[in-house]
Chains A and B, each alone.
Chain A
């Protein structure tokens, strides 16, 4: 009876309700392990139920020879943007944080490149993640030249804003709409690269509650990719690509790019093969490297600007 009860509670917790336990978290590793197993069993069960439907999805494959990726990228102008941030340092009396965005432009095969940095400060009352997002979008907007391939590290769909306030949701949506429109107008390919996607668009369409990337993990082999699907109510389409042995990654593009989806997939695969891990786009890996604020820099920032130290914080760190 007791075990049945626990099982039903675990099922509920998978569905989103919180299960509380008495005692310290680290003594609950067994329960955590069981919860994870139940969670995956449930997803596995649902995946098995719709196995046939999944295998009916259109999928494609790129055939790769030794230096295929160099041929694909030769003469292509590729742009990657990423950012990092320092949250407001409340503990040391600074209600202001910082944002650093880096843009890397490379013309593959020509040996040309440029790196640009942008930075800004933001008060505690502002949403730093939103400001960073806007700065990254702005950096890409400057490159809408009709021939570059633009990479954004993250989603272009507004579904990730679902739990946010109306104001934030609107601001994100406005930025996204703006860049999608600019991409369409200038015919500049734009790729939102989501390395770990928890979207459920395909799954919901079929009628199950599983992540798409999990659903497709066994269907797609290395170098396979799905057709482009249109995202309802948004001018966006998406596809899943198996760029590495892990779960498929998701790319999101403006709807007009459906016509060049195979070229887009080739560019993404080629960029991944160029990266140091052979499984993540080179241009984003480097943009991340350039935008990163190191711990050393963060500490310098704190040291230089600290004012009134919080005694609560001293209690925590002593």
Chain B
């Protein structure tokens, strides 16, 4: 599971098996999976007169299409801005709950990347992220519920009914 492409200083693409909303770690940089797409499988080039099942058995390496995850870089492990951008080929790991808790709750609760994130990703992803943090830091559940409600309300205000 590695970085495939660096799109800009905030976004990159990686070949990983995670889900949208999962937290990732590349070195000391923390990111979030914001979308996933599947590359067009290469087997179409090789099919000719073969059945799909034959391609799967005889040309197995072209059968599997890669799942590519688009990731947004949030901060460093110390919740500081990302200044060192990951490189193509860098290893991508999933951030476990315990580590995620330590990053956000070290004596006091901090989530500094939330405001810039609101401008970048869709509400369902933000909601999933806040629910995730709520689950691992139950002490801050009340505060996070208020934040979530405020986000949803502010978005609703923007919708013309």
Interface residues of A (CB under 8 A from B): 66-67, 70, 73, 104, 106, 108-113, 115, 274-276, 278, 282, 286, 296-297, 300, 304
Contact = CB atoms under 8 A, between A and B. Distances in A.
B54 A70 contact: yes
Contact of B45 (A108, A113, A276, A304): A276
A interface secondary structure, majority: mixed
Given A297-B88, A300-B88, A274 B49 contact: no
Contacts of B158: none
What are the nearest 8 A-B pairs in CB distance? A111-B60, A113-B60, A113-B61, A276-B45, A111-B57, A108-B58, A109-B57, A276-B46
Nearest to A73: B58
A111 B56 contact: yes
Interface string B23-64: 000000000000000000000011011100010111111110
A66 to B, nearest CB: 7
Contacts of A297: 88
Nearest to A273: B48
Interface string B140-153: 00000000000000
Interface of B: 5-6, 45-46, 48-50, 54, 56-63, 87-88
Contacts of A304: 87
Contacts of A275: 46
Nearest to A105: B61
7 contacts: A108-B58, A110-B57, A111-B63, A276-B45, A282-B46, A286-B62, A297-B88
A278 B50 CA distance: 13
Contacts of A282: 46, 59
B61 A286 contact: yes
B54 A300 contact: no
Given A70-B54, A111-B56, A278 B61 contact: no
Between A110, A113, A115, the greatest number of chain B beta carbons within 10 A of the residue's beta carbon is seen for A113
A235 B130 CA distance: 69
A296 B13 CA distance: 14
B60 A106 contact: yes
A286 B46 CA distance: 11
Nearest to A300: B88
Given A70-B50, A274-B46, A276-B46, 15 more contacts: A70-B54, A73-B58, A106-B61, A109-B57, A110-B57, A111-B57, A111-B60, A113-B60, A113-B61, A274-B58, A274-B59, A275-B46, A278-B48, A282-B46, A282-B59
